[in-house]
Structure 1
Amino acid sequence: MTTNDNNNANMRIVWRLIAVVVFMGAAAWAAVPFYRWFCQVTGFAGTTQIATQQSDRVLDQTIRVRFDANVMPDLDWSFRPMQHEMTVRLGENVMAYYEAVNNSDQTLIGRSTYNVSPSDAGYYFEKIDCFCFTEQELAPGERIEMPLNFFVNPDMLDNRDASHIRDITLSYTFFRMDTQKSARAETGAPASTALN
């Protein structure tokens, strides 16, 4: 084997390794949006659904919905459900409220994540409107009531894995947006990008 053949073989190996690194980087970059899409489509891991309109049927069968609220330690807010639980009919459009209070002396922006348990109920828990769809900005000492408009899809009874569910817990966790964004909010400077 000549030196030229060795160089060509080495270059092929280098290009293959570069291709592997690029592929792995692209796969890592795509993993988060793909996982988010997968969860939204399937309700996997208790991910709730977004509805554009109310349910077209309401059943007499009821289900109990419990509400939970949490705040990450770096966000100086009080956050709580204004009702601890509700008994609702399947398909019934319902309004619930959460309360948030900024306990700090600065304007803070928060965003909530959410999930439903048991996770099989996530696919059937449909939100029409929710404070969790957008960021929430609270001035020092400000208190707000945040609405949640939802229904539990009656199709849940047709799923053998979910038809036995009689209690659902909806849990929200608020976390603080980055400090630069909070500083822009206090000074009135425009934000350069929005959170996805």
Structure 2
Amino acid sequence: MTTIVVVDNHGQFTHLERRALRDLGVETELVDNETPPEEVEADGIVLSGGPDMDRIGHSADYLRDGRPVLGICLGMQLIAAELGGRVEGGDYGGYADVTVEITDPDDPLVGSLAPETRVWASHADEVREVPEGFSRTARSDVCGVEAMSDPERALYGVQWHPEVAHTEEGEAVFENFVAICESA
């Protein structure tokens, strides 16, 4: 059975990320972000959202151990910041219902959502420049990088929250990530 661990960066929806994976039949657990990667046995890692880049614990260490990683909101931002991208405050701010355009229909994480989907996202902070090796895979009118991928390293991120009911095709994002983990 596929095992995916959710690393808790103290986000308000983190428990829903674990539940979404469990509802797909995935073995999953929630671990505090102070847990080092070598203590976690899993086929894939979800880096949860959270309120503060200063409270990410060992989250960045999971980017270097070879397992597939999905960063959600803050999780995507820390991937970008750690690997040479640029993160800044967003122009829009708080949570909102946003139409996202999928810019890479062949992307293994979000390509199946093409041409567009409705999501629930916060844009208080956002990725302004993707790291080397990544491509932007989704955009919106309020954010230039709504999703990014580096399939070569199996590192993926979405600005939005696929785990909440307001996101139309959130389950598909988790299904696609499970498939990525199973084929890694």
Which structure carries more helix by proportion?
1
Which has the higher Rg, Structure 1 or Structure 2?
1
**Relative contact order higher in (CA < 8 Å, ≥ 6 apart):** 1
Q: Same fold (TM over 0.5)?
A: no
Q: Which category describes the TM-score, using the shorter chain as reference length?
A: under 0.3
